[in-house]
Chain A
Amino acid sequence: MEMAKSKTNHKKKVIIIIILFFVCIGSFFVSVGKGSLDISFDKVIKAIFIEKDTVNHQIIWNIRLPRTLVAALVGICLAISGAILQGVMRNPLAAPNIIGVSSGAGLMAYIILILFPKYYYLVPVGAFVGALFATLLIYLLAWRNGVSPMRLILAGVAVSSLLGAGISSLMTLFPDKVAGAVGFMVGGLSARTWPDFNMLWPYATLGILLTFLFPKKLNILMLGDEIATGLGLHVERTRMMFIVFAALLAASAVSVVGLLGFVGLIVPHTARLIIGSDYRYLLPSTALLGASVVMICDTIARLVFDPVEIPVGIVMSLLGAPFFLFLLRERRSMER
């Protein structure tokens, strides 16, 4: 009977993942179908796979499909990055910005957009490099015979505020040029298309591979450094590997859409409440939920003030912040 019970537990979680999968598929069709011109489900399929020269095909293939796919990949990358960091740091509030990804990418983007606006096309690459550089800096500062999660978080806060000061000084010194750079700060998917998709998919694939290869290592890392060492895990090496993965995933997303920070914090948390902390189930759920959330929020961002678009980052924060506070309250009452 006991054995049966743990089997049902497993089954329940697999069912949740399957449901999330369908939610994700549903979000995809909503995102591709809804817009200034509503296109129904069957026509979307036709437009993607069969038609070649219709208006529907033009709209979907050239505009909506790449944007929706970018949204999905961004969601996957940021959400998995957050889930990894929460486990590695053993801190429920860890998110990609804690390892400097947001501030590093932000500063580089601002430097390019404000000081060298001619080279605006270098923003994705610059942001990517800035993000990784900030992570490296934080990691080195936190190093002292190894890196403890607490020192890493503190170093992250310090470096982020330092880089943030850099951003603020740029904004103060060049107030006339700020307008063009604000978009990056809030994060948006407007006019994202196939090249953006091509930049993202390798990293998203990496994220998806991770969900299948290493969930057990993350689980063991959560038990504490001493226990993990005692179980034969190379703690320092493993933690560094995961931080590199998390940085790559978040940096790739941030460099394409700007600072869409909240996904990395809220989505893994929500997934954790739905399916628990076991990374074998948590990683796939996080990926699916991340993709769904960004696709849906972007659709809302396109639709509410149609034809004017609002950046998806604002939608996410407006919906996400209250939801997150609600979850925190729920969780506290659960823990009591």
Chain B
Amino acid sequence: MIIETKDVSLKYDSKEIVKDLNITIKKGEIVSIIGPNGCGKSTILKSLSRYLKPSNGKIFLDGEDIQKIDNKKAAKKIAILPQVRNVPNDFTVETLVSYGRYPHLGFGNRLRKKDFEIIDWAINKTGMDNLKTRTVGTLSGGEQQRAWIAMALAQKPEVLILDEPTTFLDISYQLEILELVKELNRTLNLTIIMVLHDINQAIRYSHTIYVIKEGNVYGYGDAKELIDLELLKNVFRIDADALEDRTNGCPYYIPQKMTSR
């Protein structure tokens, strides 16, 4: 296991969002976190990436308390792409990706030959070679997302955390990003933790799914087996039909209507 939370509670100001959370993430897995709006999914990601400090409990990364690890050292192991981010439109893809090297730089923050090689590798890995001198403002949504993933890869992390990586993208870019994530997981043995809204995509692309309801784990397990009609009714308040996606060998749910409250 690479990440483990022990009785973690998370608060914004005095409002408790997550209480006594216990999850374990195994190395090399793709883990999706799903749940209704406001259940605390993004909050959980924020704590795993050290942005939000637990009000109670501890988070361990490779057995070490995540709050006690030096910032730069942690940044070499975990990379995060949150929903809220910002890049000046005139930065080139290359410049953006180069920031991924920040935690690895010594005094003076100068990039060395090895850093440039890793930046090129990350750009290549995300298929951005012919876009690298373009400014970020001129890229499409899907291309921007890949540029950010390249930046995260340049950190050379063991864990990549993605908060709703497919939101705002059209369906072909959604597939492209998820295929890229799968490929990175397979070729680099990169552990992926992501929040997804599309339940079917979560089932198809992850090994393990955590279902969060009202700030705690409702259930977790093998992505292909965990979700059933009962769970969809209890957590998402929908009645659904179950089909089988034979191409990908996993179940496929079609939401039909909201259950009465």
Binding site for B on A (CB under 8 A): 2, 5-6, 9, 90, 144-145, 216-217, 219-220, 222-227, 229-234, 276-278, 335
A residues in contact with B46, CB < 8 Å: 226
B95 on the A face (CB < 8 A):
yes
Chain B 71-88, CB-CB to A under 8 Å as 1, else 0, gives 111111011111011111
Tell me, rounded to whole Å, the shortest Cβ–Cβ distance linking A5 to chain B.
5
Cβ contacts A to B, 29 pairs, < 8 Å: A90-B86, A216-B99, A216-B109, A219-B99, A220-B102, A222-B86, A222-B87, A223-B85, A223-B86, A223-B87, A224-B85, A226-B82, A226-B84, A226-B85, A227-B80, A227-B85, A229-B71, A230-B51, A230-B75, A230-B80, A230-B161, A231-B99, A231-B155, A232-B72, A232-B73, A232-B76, A232-B103, A276-B91, A277-B88
**A126 to B: closest C-beta gap in Å:** 37
In this complex, the member of B46, B72, B78, B99 whose beta carbon has the largest number of chain A beta carbons within 10 angstroms is B99
Least Cβ–Cβ distance between B106 and chain A, in angstroms: 12
CA distance A278 to B73 in the complex (A): 26
Nearest chain A CB to B212 CB, angstrom units: 19
Decide: B92 and A224 in contact? CB cutoff 8 A. Answer: no
Which one of A2, A90, A145, A222 lies within 8 Å of B133 (CB-CB)? A2
User: Complex Cα distance A335/B137, Å?
Assistant: 9
When the two chains form the complex, which single residue of B84, B88, B102 contacts A233, counting CB atoms closer than 8 Å?
B102
Q: A2-B133, A216-B102 are in contact. List 16 more A-B contacts (CB 8 A).
A: A6-B94, A9-B133, A144-B13, A225-B51, A226-B82, A227-B82, A229-B51, A229-B71, A230-B49, A230-B79, A230-B82, A231-B75, A231-B103, A231-B155, A232-B72, A335-B89
Task: Report the bound CA distance from A276 to B95 in whole Å.
Answer: 12
Q: B90 within 8 Å of A by Cβ?
A: yes
Q: How far is it, in angstroms, between the C-alpha of A231 and the C-alpha of B82 when the chains are bound? A: 12
- What is the interface of chain B, defined by CB distance below 8 A to chain A? 13, 46, 49-51, 71-76, 78-82, 84-92, 94-95, 99-100, 102-103, 109, 129-130, 132-133, 152, 155, 161
Q: Determine the distance from Cα of A229 to Cα of B51 in the docked complex, in whole angstroms.
A: 6
Across the interface, which residues of B come within 8 angstroms of A229, CB to CB? 49-51, 71, 80
Q: Is the pair A230, B78 in contact by a Cβ cutoff of 8 Å?
A: yes
Q: Give the nearest-CB partner of A5 in chain B.
A: B133
Report Cα–Cα, A226/B73, bound state, in Å: 16
The answer on a CB contact under 8 Å between B102 and A232 is yes
Enumerate chain B residues within 8 angstroms of A144, measured Cβ to Cβ. Answer: 13
Q: What is the predominant secondary structure among interface residues of chain A facing chain B?
A: helix
Contacts of A231 in B (CB 8 A): 75, 99-100, 102-103, 155
Residues of B contacting A145 with CB < 8 Å? 13
Given A145-B13, A227-B85, A231-B155, is A220 in contact with B133 using a C-beta cutoff of 8 Å?
no
A232 CA to B86 CA in the complex, in Å? 17
A residues less than 8 Å from B49 (CB atoms): 226, 229-230
Would you call B86 and A224 a contact (CB within 8 A)? yes
Which chain B residues lie closer than 8 Å to A223 at the CB level?
85-87, 99
Q: Which residue of B lies closest to A234 (CB)?
A: B71
B88 nearest CB neighbor, chain A only: A277
Chain B nearest CB: distance from A256 CB in Å? Answer: 32
Residue of B with least CB distance to A221: B86
A278 touching B95 in the complex, CB below 8 Å, given contacts A90-B86, A232-B75: yes
Q: Which residues of A contact B78 (CB under 8 A)?
A: 230
In the complex, what distance in Å separates the CA atom of A206 from the CA atom of B27? 47
Taking a contact as CB atoms under 8 Å apart, the answer to whether A277 and B51 are in contact is: no
Complex Cα gap A226–B42 (Å)? 12
Q: Which residues of B contact A6 (CB under 8 A)?
A: 92, 94, 132-133
Could you say which residues of chain A place their CB within 8 Å of the CB of B76? 232
Which of A224, A226, A233, A234 is packed against the most chain B CB atoms within 10 Å?
A: A226
Bound CA–CA A6/B111 (angstroms) = 15
A-B pairs with the 3 shortest C-beta distances? A232-B75, A277-B88, A232-B103
State A216–B85 Cα separation when bound (angstroms): 17
Chain B residue with Cβ nearest A226: B82
Choose from A2, A224, A230, A277 the contact partner of B91 (Cβ within 8 Å).
Answer: A277
A7 to chain B, nearest CB (A): 10
Closest to A145 in B: B13
Shortest Cβ distance from A1 into B: residue: B133
How far, in angstroms, from A310 to B5 measured CA to CA in the complex? Answer: 66
Contact between A224 and B82, CB atoms less than 8 A apart: yes
Expressed in whole angstroms, the minimum distance between the Cβ of B76 and any Cβ of chain A is 8
| Residue ID in chain A nearest B101 by CB atoms | A231
A6 to B152, CA, bound (A): 21
Q: A2–B133 Cα gap in the complex (Å)?
A: 7
- Min Cβ gap A52→B in Å is 44
B232 to chain A, nearest CB (A): 31
Residues of A within 8 A of B103 (CB): 231-232
Q: How far is the CB of B47 from chain A (nearest CB, A)?
A: 12
With A and B bound together, what is the CA distance between A225 and B83 in angstroms? 11
Q: Which of chain A's residues have a CB closer than 8 A to the CB of B99?
A: 216, 219-220, 223, 231
